Amino acid sequence: MDRAVTRNWRAATQAVRGGTWRSEHGETSEALFLTSGYTYEDAQTVADRFAGEADGMTYSRLQNPTVAMLEERIALLEGAEACRAQASGMAAMTAALLCQVSTGDHVVAARAAFGSCRWLVDHLLPRFGVETTVIDSAVDAEWEQAIRPNTKVFFFETPANPTLDVVDLKHVCDLARAHGITTVVDNAFASPALQRPMEFGADVVAYSATKLMDGQGRVLAGAVCGSQQWIDEVLLPFQRNTGPNISPFNAWVVHKGLETLSLRAHHQSKSAVALGEFLEPRIAKAGGEMRHPGLPSHPRHQLAVAQMEATGPIFAFDVGSRSRAFAILDALELIDISNNIGDARSLMCHPASTTHASMSEEARAEMGVTEGLLRINVGLEDIEDLTEDMDRALKAAGV
């Protein structure tokens, strides 16, 4: 295979050119290598590869050309030395945490987080003797107060799912570095097109590539980015022996999705601000609350626009009660009721009864997942059609 020379291209170029390895056929679109294993010219070749003394693939749990192309493209977009693709976002988060913690370590995590991320922190890690503390990630001082001598990892999302809390990346990453703590940032809501946490000092950036990276609601996928040394010495021994690997087919789909990631992420961000501006006065009049990092009413709007290129396709708003939230969802004609995000289609859901239903009522209340909260992913449809659909749904629900 001919590996394209990775030049110092800008992000838009890397999105369509980075991580392209051409076979002897010279195909324009990257090939899909649906293979679990490899064959060898002779016995010494495979012996050398297994000994790590020769380059080349040996088994798709360890390497696959299609997966490697995806990893190279994500690393280039992220500005990371290395990346390893994973079967799903949760495989990525689990691997990023479990590969580096041991019994007796302590993890500080944001309390506002995706439901399964909270399950890792609240249930899985403690089962293996890893202590965890959850904090209000949007209050800078809480990070320092939570540090203990055995704190190993800071784990958070920004913006957070589904409350849209924004974490000060520079503050938290600087603090972690000063204490020898590894930061793991779940960047699913922004993607590397809108926010690159490593520019602010993050050590590890983990993804649900199911969201904006695929961007068309097709496959589950994930990724973990870090320094070459961290990936080789910390993540890979875990990943190669536990096998949370992505299928080459799913890797290929995400690889193609990355070609349009920046265009989609920016257009959807713009529409999300427009729809938020339309909704805000109506929601305020009904006594509700907007949670939109792209609007000046968000408590960390200035920080969000400073550390992000655009504020993303997702926002949330509270309409006061579950019955009113359900009435809005049921009156939608264009926007689908769906708990996915990052899709080119506009999707809306009620987090308390879906993505965050498995959490206790107290945990939901503490992190701000109220009964009246609705979360929307704004897609690529015409903004006028979206506004009309929302207007109709609000009226039907008496908002």
Ligand X SMILES: *Cc1c(COP(=O)(O)O)cnc(C)c1O
Q: Using CB under 6 A, which of 20, 60, 161, 163 touches ligand X? A: 161
Residue closest to ligand X (Cβ):
89
Residues found in the chain: 399
- Smallest gap from Cβ 220 to ligand X, in A, equals 5
- Smallest gap from Cβ 92 to ligand X, in A, equals 7
Give the 3-state secondary structure of residue 354. coil
- Contact between 261 and ligand X per CB under 6 A: no
Nearest Cα to Cα of residue 337 among 324, 326, 346, 347: 347
Choices 44-52, 111-119, 193-201, 297-305 (CB under 6 A): range interacting with ligand X? 111-119
Place of tokens 């990893």: 71
Provide the H-helix boundaries in the chain: 11-17, 43-50, 65-78, 89-98, 115-119, 125-127, 140-146, 169-178, 228-230, 236-242, 248-258, 261-285, 301-307, 322-331, 361-367, 383-396
Site mask for ligand X (CB under 6 A), range 294-333, x = bound: ----------------------------------------
| CB-neighbour burial class of residue 256 (10 A; exposed 0-12, middle 13-18, buried 19+) | middle
Nearer to ligand X, 143 or 189 (CB): 189
Cis peptide before 237 (omega within 30 of 0): no
Contact criterion met (CB below 8 Å) for 152 and 100:
yes
What is the total count of residues that contact ligand X (CB under 6 A)? 18
Q: Using CB under 6 A, which of 71, 72, 165, 186 touches ligand X? A: 186
**What count of other Cβ atoms lies within 10 Å of the Cβ of residue 333?**
10
Gyration radius of the chain over CA positions:
22
- Contact between 90 and ligand X per CB under 6 A: yes
- Contact between 155 and ligand X per CB under 6 A: no
Site mask for ligand X (CB under 6 A), range 339-358, x = bound: --x-----------------
d(CA 362, CA 366): 6
What angle is formed at CA 121 by the lines to CA 91 and CA 250, rounded to 5 degrees? Answer: 15
Choices 109-117, 243-251, 299-307, 375-383 (CB under 6 A): range interacting with ligand X? 109-117
Nearer to ligand X, 109 or 394 (CB): 109
- Contact between 268 and ligand X per CB under 6 A: no
Residue 106, token pair as written in the block: 């302590």
Q: Using CB under 6 A, which of 80, 82, 107, 117 touches ligand X? A: 117
Contact criterion met (CB below 8 Å) for 205 and 182:
no
Nearer to ligand X, 288 or 379 (CB): 379
Choices 143-151, 208-216, 230-238, 384-392 (CB under 6 A): range interacting with ligand X? 208-216
- Contact between 188 and ligand X per CB under 6 A: yes
- Contact between 89 and ligand X per CB under 6 A: yes
Q: Using CB under 6 A, which of 78, 157, 168, 289 touches ligand X? A: 157
Q: Using CB under 6 A, which of 222, 226, 257, 276 touches ligand X? A: 222
Give the 3-state secondary structure of residue 326. helix
Choices 185-193, 194-202, 278-286, 328-336 (CB under 6 A): range interacting with ligand X? 185-193
DSSP type of residue 304: H
Residue 278, token pair as written in the block: 């339309």
- Smallest gap from Cβ 6 to ligand X, in A, equals 27
Which residues contact ligand X (rule: CB under 6 A)? 88-90, 93, 114, 116-117, 157, 161, 186, 188-189, 208, 210-211, 220, 222, 341
